[in-house]
């Protein structure tokens, strides 16, 4: 069983995966390769002057894999709560998880099929979002939401930041104490 299964490998999903895998949480990312970020050119992503969306997405994936995150390319269809765990169903197989992070961008069908409470979007061109708390919790226990699908502004620095925020809240819950992930520059 995975500690965390993340649906979506855009800035929100992979940013979350970097934190959860680096915190030693067994992490799986399921992605259907439909990220709109792949069509972006980014001149406003703090710290990364002039980078293509595909390069940002691939770099984020490599960072998470470096810390042990696993990636599978598949379409996740829904999450079902069971005795003490969650089952994420995909078009080709299912996965057990303690927690799930929904980071599906503009796509709300996974959340709707899972019976997760949604509401109309408030950002331009975003029809439906998950009704998530400021921490990232959804109406389904142990299921969280991050990025565009959680209603934040649709910009990579913000969706990546939201993925990190939600991951730190989840890790803190698993560890039972507030989590901090700081590395020190070796002198
Ligand atoms: C043309 C264009 C230009 C842009 N330019 C900029 C810019 O200059 N600066 C900027 O900051 N932002 C820009 N953006 C916005 C930015 O790219 C992203 O929209 C934003 O960062 C979204 O991140 P996300 O992780 O929430 O979603 P996404 O990056 O869309 O990732 C969601 C992922 O979830 C996966 N997924 C969805 N449903 C499922 C499912 N059921 N099963 C498995 N996987 C699933 C998708 O395949 C996708 O990979 C631009 C967007 C577009 C379209």
Distance 113 CA to ligand 1 centre (A): 20
Residues 12-29: what's their mean pLDDT? 98
pLDDT, tens digit, 9 for 90 and up, residues 72-131: 999 999 999 999 999 999 999 999 999 999 999 999 999 999 999 999 999 999 999 999
Mutate to test the pocket of ligand 1, among 36, 57, 128 (most ligand atoms within 8 A of CB): 36
Domain-located, residue 185:
no
Q: Are strands 86-90 and 76-81 parallel, antiparallel or unpaired?
A: antiparallel
Distance 36 CA to ligand 1 centre (A): 4
CB 71 within 8 A of CB 90: no
pLDDT, tens digit, 9 for 90 and up, residues 123-143: 999 999 999 999 999 999 999
Task: State both tokens at 90.
Answer: 């995909």
The torsion angles phi and psi of 140, rounded to 5 degrees, stand at -105, 125
> Which pLDDT score, from 0 to 100, does residue 183 have?
97
Domain-located, residue 114:
yes
- What is the tally of structural domains in the chain? 1
Domain with 122 in it: what CATH number? Answer: 3.50.50.60
Mutate to test the pocket of ligand 1, among 15, 40, 147 (most ligand atoms within 8 A of CB): 40
> Which pLDDT score, from 0 to 100, does residue 187 have?
87
pLDDT band at 29 (very low <50, low <70, confident <90, very high): very high
Residue with tokens 């730190």: 168
Q: Residue 71: which domain range?
A: 2-175
Domain-located, residue 79:
yes
Domain-located, residue 23:
yes
> Which pLDDT score, from 0 to 100, does residue 121 have?
98
Distance 138 CA to ligand 1 centre (A): 20
Domain-located, residue 182:
no
> Which pLDDT score, from 0 to 100, does residue 9 have?
98
Furthest-apart CA atoms within the chain: distance in Å: 51
pLDDT, tens digit, 9 for 90 and up, residues 129-186: 999 999 999 999 999 999 999 999 999 999 999 999 999 999 999 999 999 999 999 9
pLDDT, tens digit, 9 for 90 and up, residues 50-64: 999 999 999 999 999
Average pLDDT, the chain: 97
Residues 34-50: what's their mean pLDDT? 95
Q: Is the pLDDT of residue 18 over 90?
A: yes
53 lines ligand 1 (CB under 6 A): yes
Distance CA 110, CA 20 (A): 22
**Helix axes 53-66 and 156-175, enclosed angle (nearest 10):** 20
The pTM of the full predicted model, rounded to 2 decimals, is: 0.98
Domain-located, residue 66:
yes
Q: Are strands 93-102 and 86-90 parallel, antiparallel or unpaired?
A: antiparallel
């Amino acid at each position: 069983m995975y500690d965390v299964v993340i649906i979506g490998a855009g800035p929100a999903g992979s940013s979350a995966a970097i934190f959860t895998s680096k915190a030693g949480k067994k992490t799986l990312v399921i992605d259907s390769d439909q990220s709109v970020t792949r069509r972006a050119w980014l001149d406003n992503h703090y710290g990364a002057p002039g980078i293509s969306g595909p390069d940002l997405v691939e770099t984020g994936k490599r960072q998470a894999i470096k810390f042990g995150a696993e990636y599978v390319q598949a379409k996740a269809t829904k999450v079902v709560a069971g005795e003490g765990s969650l089952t994420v169903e995909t078009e080709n197989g299912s996965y057990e998880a303690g927690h799930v992070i929904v980071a599906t961008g503009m796509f709300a069908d996974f959340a709707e099929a899972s019976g997760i409470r949604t509401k109309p979007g408030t950002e331009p061109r975003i029809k439906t979002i998950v009704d998530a708390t400021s921490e990232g919790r959804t109406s389904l226990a142990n299921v969280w939401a991050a990025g565009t699908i959680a209603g934040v502004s649709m910009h990579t620095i913000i969706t990546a930041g939201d993925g990190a925020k939600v991951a730190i809240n989840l890790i803190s819950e698993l560890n039972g104490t507030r989590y901090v992930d700081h590395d020190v520059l070796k002198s």
